[in-house]
Amino acid sequence: MGKNPLDHLVEINPDGLTIVINNADIRHDINVFLDYIDSRGIKRTHRENQIPKADLLRLAKVMGDEETLEQVRSDGYSPWVSHIDRLCLRMKFIQYDTEGVYAGYSSSAPSFPDNYVDLDADRVLSFFDLPLQEQENKLQACLINEAYPCTNEFFSYGPQSRLDRFNSAGCLTGVMKKIDFPGARQSLLSLLASCTPGKWYSVKSLIDFIKTSMPYFLIPKKVPKLPSGGKNRYHNFMEQKPEDHWPRSVITQTSPNAFERVEGRYIERFLENIPLTLRYVELAYDKKGDLPQKPSFGRIRAFKVTDRFQSAIHQKIREPYVTVLPNFEIHVESLFYPVKIINTLTLFCNIKSRDIHTIMKLSRGKVIASLAANDSLDPVKILQNLSQQPLPGNIVNELKAWSGHAETFILYESFGLLEGKTAAKYAKDCIVEKAGQDVYIIRSPQKVYRQLETALQVPLLINHPESRLKSPDKGAKSVFCKAGALKKSTKQPKKKINVRRTVAVNNVERPVDICTHTNINRKYCGTPVETGPGYSLVELETFSGMAVDDSGLVHGGFVFGLADYAAMVAVNHPNVVLGSAEVKFLKPVSVGSRLVARARVDGEPGRKNKVLVTVSCEEVPVFEGSFSCPVLERHVLA
C-alpha cells in the first residue's frame, strides 16, 4: 500500500451512536450445532430445505444467545443459525441434498423429500484437534474464499447485517465476473491489521484512504465492454430514489462520489460481514446515512478492531490456559473458544460461566457417570495434562474417592450376588456373569446357599431390601459393606445383567470453604492453597501480561493485589474490606516467578483485624505489609 493507514485514519467518539457487538461465538455455536445433529438429527423442510422451527428453537436455546432466540420465536428463522448451517456444509462437516428433485410437470421449484443432515464425525474431530490458530485460519479461508458473483457483500446479507443491499439483477454479467472478492477481502483485513485495538476510527476516513491509496482493490482498472460498446465500471450497480418502487438509476464512473457510492458501500457491508461475524470488530451505527438513495451509505460511522482480531491476523493465537483450583473450580482462559478442552472438561464439570474466562466446576455426579460409561478414563491425569501442573491435593483425593463410586449396579429379582474365593466352584451351574474379583451374579441363590451348606462352607445369606444393600452381620466381610442403590426391575429376569458397583470411601480431605472475594480473577490475584482460622497461603504465577517493559519487570500492583487477597482470605468474611495498608517492596519481581503470600491475622479474627502479610519468591521475601481489614455489618455496596 505504501502509506501508513494510521497516518490517515481519524479517531472518532462514538457517543450517541448505536454500538453493535457480536455476542455469539462461532466455534461454540458450530460445536453446539454439530453436537445437536449427532445426538438428535435434523430432517430439513420438504419445500424450502430449511431447518425446521422446532429444531431452530432448541438450537437457539442451547447456543444461549437471546437475540437469536427472539428472532426464531418471532420470525421462525435465524440468520445466525442459517450461517452456521451453511458454514458447516462448506467446511464439509455435514452433508445434505442442496439440489432437490422436481416432483411433476407443474413443479416450478425443487422439493427435498427425506433430506436428513449427515455428520462427518472424523472430519469434525480432526478440525477441533488442530491448534486454535490453525482452526481460525481455516474458518477465515472458508469465509474469505466465497467467490460466486451473486453471493457477496453487495447482494447478500451476512448473519449480523443491518444495512440494505444492492439489487442482484444482472449479478452474473458485466464487471461482476471480473471482481476478485477473496483478494479484496484479504486486502481489507490486512489494512485493518494496522489499526490499534480499542480505538474508534471513522469509517469515512477509511474509505477516503482506500480511495486514494488502493482505488482498484475491488473493481479492476480494466473492465469489459458493455453490449452497447461503451465501458462503465459501475454498470451492475443501481440506486433507488425514495419515491421509486425499484432501482432505476445506474451509477456511472462519472457520477459524483462514484467510488463512495459503490466501493464505499462495499467497505461498509464488508465490515458487518466477516469481521463482525468473527468478532474482529465492533461497529457504531447512525440512524441516518449520507445519501437519500438506497442502498444506504454512511450509516456505519465508526469501527474498532479487537485484540481477538490482532492475535488472529498476526498468527499469535495462544493456546488456552487451564487452572484447577482447590475450591473445585476450573478456569479456562482463551480469547478463542477451545472446543476440545471444554468438551473434555464437560465430562467431569458443569459450566458456570462462558466467556474469554470460562469457569467450570467439578461435579461428583458427572465424574461418576463418565467413569461408569468408560472405566479407562483417569480424571486426575486428564486434568494434569490440561493444566500442565500438579493438581491441588484435595482435588486429587476427592477425584480418587469419586472414582471408587463409579460402579453402581441394577440387580434383577430372582438373582443374587455370590462372594468368596472358593465359592464359585460350588455354583458353576448357576453363575450368570462374573462381576468383579471373586464376585459373581447367580441365579437361584437359595439353591446355591444349600449347596454351600452341604459342602460345609458356612455361607452367610443376606436378604437385601429393595431400597439399599444391607450391611452384613458384625464380623463378616463384604465388598458391599456400605449402603448402596439397588433398583428393583419390574421386567422379567434377563441373562444380560448390567453391573456397576458402589464403594464408599472415608477420610477424604474436604475443600476449604472460602466465603470472601469469590468472583476474583485468580490468574491475577493468586490461588489459595492453604487456609485456616486467621491464616492463608496464596500462590501466584506471574506471566507476560503483568510486565511493564521488555525486561519482564512485573508491576508492583500485582504483588500488592496478591498480598491484599491473601489478607482477605485470612479474615475470610463476606463483608471484609481493606481499610488501609503499610507496605514495603523489598525486591523486584520478574515474569515467570512463583510468588507465595503468607497472611496471618494478628490476634483473634473479629470486627477489626490487623493482618500481617509476607510475599516470597523462592523463599526470599519480596514484599511485606500490614493490612487493616475491618468486617462491616453489611456489604460495602449494600
Please say if the pLDDT value at position 638 is more than 60: yes
Residue 512 falls inside a structural domain: no
Task: Note whether residue 515 is domain-resident.
Answer: no
- The whole-number pLDDT of residue 496 equals 41
Q: What share of the chain is helix, strand, coil (3-state, %, to 5)?
A: 30, 20, 50
Q: Which residue has the higher pLDDT, 108 or 535?
A: 535
Query: What is the extent of the structural domain holding 241?
Result: 1-22+132-140+147-316
Mean pLDDT of 588-612: 90
Is the pLDDT reported for residue 473 higher than 70? no
Give the CA angle between residues 270, 276, 278 to the nearest 5°.
Answer: 115
Which DSSP letter does residue 590 get?
Answer: B
| Overall average pLDDT of the 20-41 stretch | 93
Using CB atoms within 10 A of its CB, is residue 283 exposed (0-12), middle (13-18) or buried (19+)? buried
* Residue 156 is assigned to a structural domain of this protein: yes
Cβ-contact 206, 9 below 8 angstroms: yes
Three-state helix/strand/coil letters over 375-396: CCCCHHHHHHHHHCCCCCHHHH
- Between CA 266 and CA 276 the distance in angstroms is 14
- One-character DSSP codes across 79-103: HHHHHHHHHHHHTTSEE--SS-B--
Asked if residue 393 and residue 414 are part of one domain, the reply reads no
- Binned at pLDDT 50, 70 and 90, residue 225 comes out as confident
Lowest-confidence pick of 47-51, 452-456, 605-609, 613-617:
452-456
**Total residue length of the chain:** 638
175 and 283 fall within a common domain: yes
* Structure confidence at residue 50 (pLDDT): 92
Asked if residue 83 lies in contact with residue 65, where contact means CB atoms within 8 angstroms, the answer is no
Look at residue 469 in the predicted model and tell me its pLDDT. 57
Of 374, 404, 434, which residue constitutes the final position of a domain?
404
CB 277 within 8 A of CB 158: yes
Q: How does pLDDT run across 128-145, given as a tens digit for each residue? A: 999 999 999 999 999 999
Q: Are residues 335 and 308 in the same domain?
A: no
Helices 26-39 and 79-90, packing angle to 10 deg: 80
Provide the pairing of β-strand 594-601 with 535-541. antiparallel
Q: What are phi and psi of 303, to 5 degrees?
A: -140, 155
pLDDT at 210: 95
Claim to verify: residue 163 and residue 280 sit in the same structural domain: yes
More confident of the two residues 78 and 467: 78
Residue 127 lies in a domain: no
Query: Rounded to an integer, what distance in angstroms lies between the CA atom of residue 439 and that of residue 236?
Result: 80
510 part of a folded domain: no
Clarify whether residues 497 and 532 are in a common domain: no
pLDDT of 228 reads: 61
Instruction: Find, among 546, 529, 545, the residue nearest to 537 by Cα.
Output: 529
Say how many C-beta atoms besides its own lie within 10 A of residue 520's C-beta: 16
Q: Tell me the C-alpha distance between 271 and 117, whole Å.
A: 31
pLDDT beyond 60 at 101:
yes
* pTM beyond cutoff 0.85: no
| 564: pLDDT strictly greater than 80 | yes
pLDDT, tens only, 395-436: 998 898 887 655 445 555 557 777 777 777 777 777 777 766
pLDDT for residue 501 is more than 50: no
Say what the pLDDT of residue 468 is: 52
Please check the confidence at residue 179 and state whether its pLDDT lies above 50.
Answer: yes
Backbone angles phi, psi at 287, to 5 degrees: -70, -30
Q: What is the CATH number of the domain that holds 98?
A: 1.10.10
Has residue 92 got a pLDDT over 70? yes
Q: How many structural domains does the chain have?
A: 5
**Stretch 350-370: mean pLDDT, rounded?**
90
- What is the pLDDT at residue 276? 97
Q: What is the mean pLDDT of residues 222-233?
A: 71
Residues 620 and 604 in one domain: yes
Q: What is the mean pLDDT of residues 459-482?
A: 59
| pLDDT at residue 404 in the model | 67
Q: Which percentage of the chain shows pLDDT scores above 70?
A: 87
pLDDT reported for residue 567: 95
Q: How far apart are CA 347 and CA 366, in angstroms?
A: 6
In 472-542, the DSSP E strands lie at 527-532, 535-541
CATH number for 607: 3.10.129.10
Q: Please state which of the ranges 49-53, 299-303, 394-398, 604-608 shows the lowest mean pLDDT.
A: 604-608
> Residues 305, 246: one domain?
yes
**Residues 166 and 84 reside in one and the same domain:** no
pLDDT, one tens digit per residue, over 362-389 is: 998 888 888 877 878 899 999 999 999 9
Classify residue 421: in a domain, yes or no.
yes
The conformation of residue 264, written as its DSSP 8-state character, comes to: I
Q: What's the whole-number average pLDDT of the chain?
A: 85
Among the ranges given (459-468, 560-569, 597-606), the one the predictor scored with the smallest mean pLDDT: 459-468
**Mean pLDDT of the region 234-260:** 84
Same domain, 287 and 368: no
- Strand duo 349-353 + 415-419: pairing: unpaired
With respect to residue 636, please indicate whether it lies within any of the assigned structural domains: no
228 in the same domain as 151? yes
Give the 3-state secondary structure of residue 260.
helix
In which residue are the cell numbers 476440545 written? Answer: 340
Per DSSP, the chain holds a count of helices (H) and strands (E) of: 19, 21
Dihedral, CA of residue 241, residue 245, residue 251 and residue 254, to nearest 10: -40
What end-to-end distance do the CA atoms of the chain give, in Å?
Answer: 56
The answer on 185 and 249 residing in a single domain is yes
Give the containing element (helix H, strand E) for 418: strand 415-419
Question: What cell does 167 get?
Answer: 439489487
Question: 242 near 251, Cβ under 8 Å?
Answer: no
Measured CA to CA, the distance from residue 611 to residue 620 in angstroms comes to: 20
Query: Would you tell me how many other CB atoms lie within 10 Å of the CB of residue 626?
Result: 15
By the 10 Å C-beta count (0-12 exposed, 13-18 middle, 19+ buried), 55 is classed as buried
pLDDT of residue 103: 73
The residue-averaged pLDDT of 210-217 equals 94
Domain boundary among 375, 404, 433: 404
Distance separating alpha carbons of residues 30 and 46, to the nearest angstrom: 24
SS3 sequence of 504-515: CCCCCCCCCCCC
Last residue of a domain, one of 404, 436, 459: 404
Q: In whole angstroms, give the CA distance from residue 420 to residue 612.
A: 60
Task: Examine the domain organization and report whether 299 and 331 are in the same domain.
Answer: no
Q: Can you give the pLDDT at residue 116?
A: 94
At 455, is the pLDDT very low, low, confident or very high (cuts 50, 70, 90)? Answer: confident
pLDDT band at 497 (very low <50, low <70, confident <90, very high): very low
Instruction: Please report which residue ranges of 489-571 form alpha helices under DSSP H.
Output: 522-525, 556-571
Residues 404 and 505: beta-carbon distance below 8 Å: yes
- Cα gap 407→394, rounded to integer Å: 22
In a domain, 2, yes or no: yes
The percentage of the chain sitting over the pLDDT mark of 90, rounded to a whole number, equals 52
Say whether 315 sits in a helix, a strand or coil: coil
Average pLDDT over residues 61-77: 86
- In the numeric block, the cell 441363590 is attached to 445
Q: State the pLDDT at residue 372.
A: 77
The per-residue DSSP string of 14-30 comes to: -TTSEEE-----HHHHH
